Amino acid sequence: MVIGIPASIPLILNNAPLLFVFVLVVALVNLLVTMLAGKLLKFSIEEVVLACNANIGGPTTAAALAIGKGWQPLVGPILVIGTLGYVIGNYVGSLVYSLISAL
């Protein structure tokens, strides 16, 4: 879920405040769950930050962050993991849609 760079925060707050709150809650829960999982599984902070970024912005933004921070060895893996997230997310989303439609 990406709002996008050209989004105006004041415009969003005026026209769709619940959307802003929803996106904020999703992003914060993602950050919390990713940080806790990273701590439990003993991943480095770089790996956890990139995973969190890939969850919210996709593999391309995570790769850009890795390149910008000089984490060159993590660029390839984050592109693979981010793309795998898209693949899994599409199937899970289709399954959820099918289940809800059946109700």
Give the 3-state secondary structure of residue 6: coil
pLDDT tens sequence across 59-76: 999 999 999 999 999 999
Q: Report d(CA 57, CA 38) in Å as an integer.
A: 18
Q: Could you tell me the residue ranges of all domains in the chain?
A: 9-102
**What one-letter code names the amino acid at 3?**
I
What pLDDT is recorded for position 36? 97
Q: Are 17 and 73 in contact (CB under 8 A)?
A: no
Residue with tokens 């902070």: 45
> Measured between alpha carbons, how far is 76 from 73 in angstroms, rounded to an integer?
7
- What are the angstrom distances between the C-alpha of 45 and each of 3, 26, 38, 93, 98? 25, 20, 8, 29, 37
pLDDT tens string 13-59: 898 899 889 989 999 999 999 999 999 999 999 999 999 999 888 89
pLDDT at 98: 96
Task: Give the pTM.
Answer: 0.78
